[in-house]
Amino acid sequence: MIELEDVIGRLPNRNQDVDDATRIDRTALYERVKNALSAAQAEEAAALDASVREKHVAAGLPKHRQGKGVGLEIGLARRESPKRGNLHLGLGKALVAEMPRALDRMREGVLTEYRATILVRETGYLTREDRERIDELICGRAATFDGWSDRQFEQEVKKLAYQLEPEAVVKRHERAFNERHVSVRPAPDAMTYVTALVPLIQGVAVKATLKRAADAAKARGDGRSHGQIEADRFVELLTGLIRADEVPLTVNLTINDHALFAGDCEPAAVPGFGPVPTVIARRWIKKGARFIRRLYVRPKTGELVAMESRRRLFPQKLREFIDIRDDTCRMPFCGAPIRHRDHILGKQHGGETSGENGAGVCEACNYAEEAPGFSAKPVDGERHTFEIKTPTGHRYTSVAPKLPGAE
């Protein structure tokens, strides 16, 4: 097996005295190598899926469970989330089975993994024949897309797909319409992104409404920027508040008592959103919190004190405890919102319903790790820790995030 050190040892010496043109040549070469390696990863993913499915068929697993867990293991190997692992698996299978031209261009180093993903994603609803045709039209020759931006690449693929399968486009729109939703995710500097996936016409109408409100406010001499007025009006219209900055604090806020009362700078934390600067947290509290949930931590580690239950299912208070302690899905590299509370060591193997044997995980990870060959167990550590073993024998460790109060 080729080791990483062997590959690094073949790279040119970065301390060599070379001219800038050589540095640019190397950069271009490294990019082509990256693309070729992405092609190799895609092929390995498709081959792994085929091998695992063959084993699952031999083991008598029902069809809906065949291949389960492959995306999770690929994600772990790439040090990425299981969701990303499944995307890479889908990409690999599509390239190998239906888009050989794109795979060839990746092997040559001229097509990036990102553009290959665009190609697969924007043709996923088409027939196999039409996908192969677009693959040939776009990637049959590298010169076709030479000089294109990522945006232009995506637009050209979409145009071809719309021309070949107009009826399929309508069905895809209907499916997208049914998947409309609103999501909230963390943003830098104690902010959040509130995103609404809605039909194009509705989105334009929302933006136009906010723009009119901002234009009118500016005409009255409002000192806020146009963007600030739109954002504030957005919150006011949704919540019914008179002023956007009068939202009461109703979230769990974990904060060190020294930071709250003695001016310490240890950041606070909001489960699911991450650290919050202490000054901002104190400002929120000063404005009027409905409640502050007090959380007991071990002074040296910042670990929440464990809770236990005799029940098989995690009771509400223990669920809340796990959610606050783990913050996001505890599967290594995942980071998705917690949806399930899982027994690390299964109940059938004597695992207790306790904080020590419990972990917050997303729905996808919880189901994926039920595939044959996966196992997990708690591990002693300064903070809540468990180890997961994959069907190929690889091991990964998950350590709970440090909470405010740790030294």
Q: Give one DSSP letter per residue of 314-378, joined into a string.
A: PPHHHHHHHHHHH-S--STT--PPP-EEEESS-GGGT--EESTTEEEE-HHHHHHTTSTT-EEEE
Same domain flag for 150 and 212: no
Residues 44 and 102 reside in one and the same domain: yes
Do 169 and 198 lie in a common domain? Answer: no
More confident residue, 87 or 370: 87
Mean pLDDT calculated for residue range 63-84? 94
Q: Looking at the structure, do residues 379 and 336 belong to the same domain, yes or no?
A: yes
Examine residue 274 and state whether it is found in any structural domain, yes or no: no
Greater model confidence, 155 or 290: 155
Range in 75-89, 210-224, 374-388 the model is least confident about:
374-388
Among the residue ranges 184-193, 238-247, 327-336, the one predicted with the least confidence is 238-247
Burial string for 230-247 (b: 16+ CB within 10 Å, else e) reads bbbbbbbeeeeeeebeee
Q: How much of the chain, in percent, has pLDDT values that exceed 90?
A: 51
In a domain, 298, yes or no: no
Question: What is the number of structural domains in the chain?
Answer: 3
The answer to whether residues 61 and 200 belong to one domain is no
Alpha-carbon distance of 123 to 132, in angstroms, equals 10
Share of the chain above pLDDT 70, in %: 83
C-beta of residue 81 within 8 angstroms of C-beta of residue 334:
yes
Instruction: Dihedral sign for Cα 307, 310, 312, 313, please.
Output: negative
pLDDT tops 70 at residue 304: no
**205/104 same-domain check:** no
Same domain, 200 and 315: no
* pLDDT for residue 220: 94
> In this structure, are 14 and 154 located in the same domain?
yes
Would the pLDDT of 307 be above 60?
A: no
Residue type, 140: G
Question: Which of 187-196, 346-355, 385-394 comes out lowest in average pLDDT?
Answer: 346-355
Please give the Cα distance from 307 to 355 (Å, whole number): 5
Give the Cα separation of 65 and 82 in Å (integer). Answer: 17
How far apart CA 46 and CA 50 sit, in angstroms, is 6
Give the angle 85-88-90 at the CA atoms, nearest 5°: 110
Are residues 208 and 238 located together in one domain of the fold?
yes
Query: Do residues 317 and 335 lie in contact, with contact meaning Cβ atoms separated by under 8 Å?
Result: no
Specify if 292 maps to a domain: no
Global confidence as pTM:
0.73
Based on the fold, state whether residues 103 and 124 are members of the same structural domain.
yes
Range(s) of the domain holding residue 383? 308-399
